[in-house]
């Protein structure tokens, strides 16, 4: 496994200078822009929506945008983010009435589809849709806020999902989100993740390039 991707979560960026922050973190070596959408209903926080995604595209951001929907219901937002230029769209299966339909909507539009699992959400939601996902996102914190600590039980769950992906023979990214740091990214990769969301661990440092470089050095070990 060497195709590691680093996806800074812009939740921890300076929203007053968002375009510049996204440009800077991409220049610093990030692969993917992780875009957290919270609705004050599915999760107890309110963030940014499709207009902001569209504005980033208009600003000239061409990197993949990984839209993590923490909203309920999901389908209206899926349609809006397709229109706004999302690359990946992931949602929490328990927030969708029709998981198969929601995944299909994303793929039909040419975007990459994914399911997100909270720390205590069972994996059985994958049972009948393994062939319809391009990404599986495991939350390593309870969703809603940046800057929380990584829940260690996620490592065993990652290993479980890695086995499922390998057994499926499909090309599915395994992303982890919450509390990822330079210190723990190596262990998270060893457990099977290939895509790493990090918000506060990158944006709360002065030198994004140096932090991303440190993360890559841990991944190369
Ligand atoms: C939490 C969000 C995360 C968050 C990660 O609900 O989904 O993407 O921004 O932030 P850190 O890396 O600070 O835990
Ligand atoms: Zn997220």
Could you tell me the mean pLDDT of each successive run of 10 residues in the chain, 221 residues long?
89 98 98 98 98 98 99 98 99 98 98 98 98 98 98 98 98 98 98 98 98 98 94
CB of 93 within 6 A of ligand 1: the answer is no
CA gap 80, 72 in Å, rounded? 14
147 lines ligand 1 (CB under 6 A): yes
CATH of the domain at 207: 3.20.20.70
List the domain range (segments joined by +) for residue 50. Answer: 5-220
The SS3 assignment for 63 reads: coil
Ligand 1 atom nearest to 181, measured from its CA: 12
Cis amide bond preceding 73, omega within 30: yes
For residue 198, the CA-to-ligand 1 centroid distance in Å is 7
92 is in an annotated binding site: no
Closest ligand, as measured to the CA of 179: 1
Provide the angle, in degrees to the nearest 10, between the axes of the packed helices 75-84 and 99-108.
Answer: 10
Number of domains in the chain: 1
| Cβ of 146 below 6 Å from ligand 1 | yes
Q: Assess contact for 85 and 54: CB atoms under 8 A.
A: yes
Asked if residue 68 belongs to a known ligand binding site, the reply is yes
Distance (angstroms) between ligand 1 centre and the Cα of 48 equals 14
Cα separation, 125 vs 13, whole angstroms: 32
117 annotated as ligand-binding: no
Residue whose pair of structure tokens reads 């023979």 in the numeric block: 169
- pLDDT given at position 190: 98
| Residues in contact with 56: Cβ distance below 8 Å, sequence separation at least 6, in sequence order | 18, 19, 22, 33, 65, 85
Q: Alpha-carbon distance 137 to 123, whole Å?
A: 11
3-class secondary-structure state, position 120: coil
Ligand 1, residue 178: give the atom nearest the CA. Answer: 14
pLDDT of residue 2: 64
Residue 199, marked binder: yes
Give catalytic residue positions.
36, 177
User: How far, in Å, from the CA of 177 to the mean position of ligand 2?
Assistant: 6
Q: Which of 148, 142, 220 is nearest to 185 (CA)?
A: 220
The Cα 65–Cα 172 span in angstroms is 17
- Range 130-157 burial, b when 16+ CB lie within 10 A, else e: bebbbbbbbbbbebebbeeebbeebbeb
The Cα 35–Cα 37 span in angstroms is: 6
148 lines ligand 1 (CB under 6 A): yes
Which atom of ligand 1 is least distant from the CA of 148?
Answer: 14
Q: How far is the CA of 179 from the centre of ligand 1 (A)?
A: 7
Report whether residue 179 contacts ligand 1, using a CB cutoff of 6 Å: yes
Q: Is the CB of 175 under 6 A from ligand 1?
A: no
**Among 207, 36, 88, which Cα is nearest to 215's?**
207
| Per-residue model confidence (pLDDT) at position 90 | 99
Q: What does each C-alpha distance from 103 to 30, 106, 128, 131 come to in angstroms?
A: 26, 5, 12, 10
């Amino acid at each position: 496994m060497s195709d590691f991707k680093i996806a800074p979560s812009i939740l921890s960026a300076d929203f007053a200078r968002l375009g510049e922050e996204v440009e800077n973190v991409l220049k610093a070596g990030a692969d993917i822009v992780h875009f957290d959408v919270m609705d004050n209903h599915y999760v107890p926080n309110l963030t940014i929506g499709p207009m902001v995604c569209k504005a980033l595209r208009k600003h000239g951001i061409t990197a993949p945008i990984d839209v993590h929907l923490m909203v309920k219901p999901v389908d209206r937002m899926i349609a809006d983010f397709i229109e706004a230029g999302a690359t990946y769209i992931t949602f929490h299966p328990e927030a969708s009435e029709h998981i198969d339909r929601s995944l299909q909507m994303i793929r039909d539009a040419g975007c990459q589809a994914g399911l997100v699992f909270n720390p205590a959400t069972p994996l059985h939601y994958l049972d009948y849709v393994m062939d319809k996902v391009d990404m599986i996102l495991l939350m390593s914190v309870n969703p809603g806020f940046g800057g929380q600590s990584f829940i260690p039980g996620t490592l065993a769950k990652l290993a479980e999902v890695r086995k499922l992906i390998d057994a499926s023979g499909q090309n599915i990214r395994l992303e982890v989100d919450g509390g990822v740091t330079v210190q723990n990214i190596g262990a998270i990769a060893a457990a099977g993740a290939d895509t790493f969301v990090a918000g506060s661990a990158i944006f709360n440092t002065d030198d994004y390039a140096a932090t991303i470089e440190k993360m890559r050095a841990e991944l190369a070990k």
